[in-house]
Amino acid sequence: MSQLPRVIYLAHRVPFPPDKGDRIRNYHVLRELAKVSRVWLACLADEPVNEATRATLEGLCERVEIVPASGRLRWWRAATSALAGRSLSEGAFREPAFKHLLDGWQKESPIAAAVCSASSLAPYLARMSDVPKFVDLVDVDSQKWFDFAESKSWPKSWLYRFEAKRVRKLEIELSRWAKAVTIVSRAECDVYDGFAAPAKGTVATNGVDLEYFAPDFDVKIVPVCAFVGALDYYPNIDAAVWFAREIWPTIHLKHPKAEFWIIGRKPAIDVVLLTSLPGVKLFMDVPDVRPYLAVAALAVCPIRIARGLQNKVLEAMAMSKATLAAPAAIAALDVTPGKHLLSPTTPGEWVEAVGELLNDAARRARLGTAARKYVEAHHHWDRCLQPLMTAMAPYLVQP
């Protein structure tokens, strides 16, 4: 009986546990690859990796190598990368031990294909000769940096614009040698195709774990607006601060028993300071966000700066939560505002929409039911990642 083909998968972070945007997608890509190939996983680690995580990955992969990131040296390498005409990101993820590992792997049994999880790892793939290469770009990072530049004052605006131009150069280059470049949404793909090779991007959207993020109809609902996210990430920080300071005071004045819950990892100081506001509570580094979402009357995603697809929106919808999300947060979704969720734009619309839903349990239930049906129909993981697997299929023929 012939062996399955060997695929090398490169991840810029350990792809487990699936508790953060990139880890969620990387873990499910890894699961799909493991169904049709012998996966050799190489990933960087910027924090300790426990044995349970390693055991889970070894259960999926034939080989697992976790290379520690070099801490302070990452910033030195980022600076030297910039001086050499490349992006800061490429330098930050350049690890000699990682390169040495991949050089050794190429000398072993034949490689059917190689996949990387982000543009910052693309230079490792580019060095691999005679190997079909695939880049799971997910988001157009250069556009993200341009967006950040527009929202910041100098000198940060200059730094973000500098990085945007360098990352765009990298994204254009990889479109020339990658067999496929997968991107999370049609809108994001159109951005990429607008400056890279025409029709080079392939849409492979995100799914949601429908069994894990399931509705819990047995809990008592409380008048809470819940926001979930990585709280050291600028768009999430901006969203929490804007909602808490610009929207929440008016809501709380009209609904004094209501609370705004901010739930997530590693909160920035600007987020921590929000707890001084009436009705605002912070739940940081919780092991499981579902109990908090389950009891909340509403899920809110007031993100004003967003690229790609917001997993937090899919997860709330999967739990049948009445969800309010800013237009930027749903640009990657084929939802109908008013049917699957609400999408306020102005502060006044946010106040009005939250107030109406807090007072109308029946409408919350209708929105939650429609939300769950939407994700069941459109965001099952194996279907979402099928475009990537279809692009790789010709190279994964068993020897």
Cα–Cα distance measured from residue 344 to residue 341, given in angstroms and rounded to the nearest whole number: 10
Mean residue pLDDT of the chain comes to 95
Residue 113 lies in a domain: yes
Cis, bond preceding 256 (omega within 30 deg of 0): no
Burial readout 272-282 (b: 16 or more C-beta within 10 A, e: otherwise):
eebeeeebbeb
Note whether 349 and 388 are same-domain residues.
no
Residues 226-253, mean pLDDT to the nearest whole number: 97
Q: Which residues pair with 296 in a beta bridge?
A: 222
- Looking at the structure of the chain, the number of domains it has is 2
Note whether 167 and 230 are same-domain residues.
no
Note whether 184 and 226 are same-domain residues.
no
Return the pLDDT at 243.
Answer: 98
Tell me how long the chain is.
Answer: 399
Residue at 126: amino acid letter: A
Residue 215 lies in a domain: no
Residue 217 lies in a domain: no
Residue 343 lies in a domain: yes
Residue 212 lies in a domain: no
Name the least confident of 18-32, 311-325, 353-367: 18-32
Burial of 263 from C-beta contacts in 10 A (0-12 / 13-18 / 19+)? buried
Residues 307-335, mean pLDDT to the nearest whole number: 95
| 83-92 pLDDT tens trace | 999 999 999 9
Return the pLDDT at 1.
Answer: 37
Cα–Cα distance measured from residue 265 to residue 287, given in angstroms and rounded to the nearest whole number: 10
Note whether 76 and 117 are same-domain residues.
yes
CA distances from 294 to 211, 221, 257, 327 (A): 14, 8, 18, 24
Cα–Cα distance measured from residue 115 to residue 42, given in angstroms and rounded to the nearest whole number: 10
Note whether 41 and 138 are same-domain residues.
yes
| 147-191 pLDDT tens trace | 999 989 999 999 999 999 999 999 999 999 999 999 999 999 999
Note whether 231 and 296 are same-domain residues.
yes
CB proximity list for 119: less than 8 A, separation 6 or greater? 89, 135, 137, 141, 167, 170, 171, 174
Residue 12 lies in a domain: yes
Report the 10 Å Cβ neighbour count for 208. 24
Return the pLDDT at 2.
Answer: 56
The domain of 90 spans 6-207+381-395
Confidence category of residue 95, pLDDT binned at 50, 70, 90 = very high
Percent of the chain with pLDDT over 90: 91
Question: What's the CATH code of the domain at 183?
Answer: 3.40.50.2000
Per-position DSSP letters for 352-392, written without gaps between them: HHHHHHHT-HHHHHHHHHHHHHHHHHH--HHHHTHHHHHHH
Note whether 269 and 154 are same-domain residues.
no
Note whether 183 and 329 are same-domain residues.
no
Residue 214 lies in a domain: no
Confidence category of residue 70, pLDDT binned at 50, 70, 90 = confident
Six token digits for residue 240: 């929490």
Six token digits for residue 328: 């930027």
Residue 247 lies in a domain: yes
Helices (H), 84-133: 88-92, 96-106, 122-126
Note whether 363 and 251 are same-domain residues.
yes
Return the pLDDT at 46.
Answer: 86
Helices (H), the chain: 21-36, 51-60, 73-83, 88-92, 96-106, 122-126, 141-151, 156-177, 186-193, 234-242, 248-254, 269-272, 290-295, 311-318, 347-358, 361-378, 381-384, 386-392
Note whether 113 and 240 are same-domain residues.
no
CB proximity list for 159: less than 8 A, separation 6 or greater? none
| 127-151 pLDDT tens trace | 998 999 999 999 999 999 999 999 8
User: In terms of Cα–Cα distance, which of 74, 135, 124 is closest to 100?
Assistant: 124
Return the pLDDT at 17.
Answer: 93
Note whether 144 and 263 are same-domain residues.
no
The beta-strand segments (E) located in 190-252 are 201-203, 222-228
Return the pLDDT at 399.
Answer: 59
| 289-313 pLDDT tens trace | 999 999 999 999 999 988 889 999 9
Note whether 279 and 386 are same-domain residues.
no
Six token digits for residue 28: 């499910």
Confidence category of residue 72, pLDDT binned at 50, 70, 90 = confident
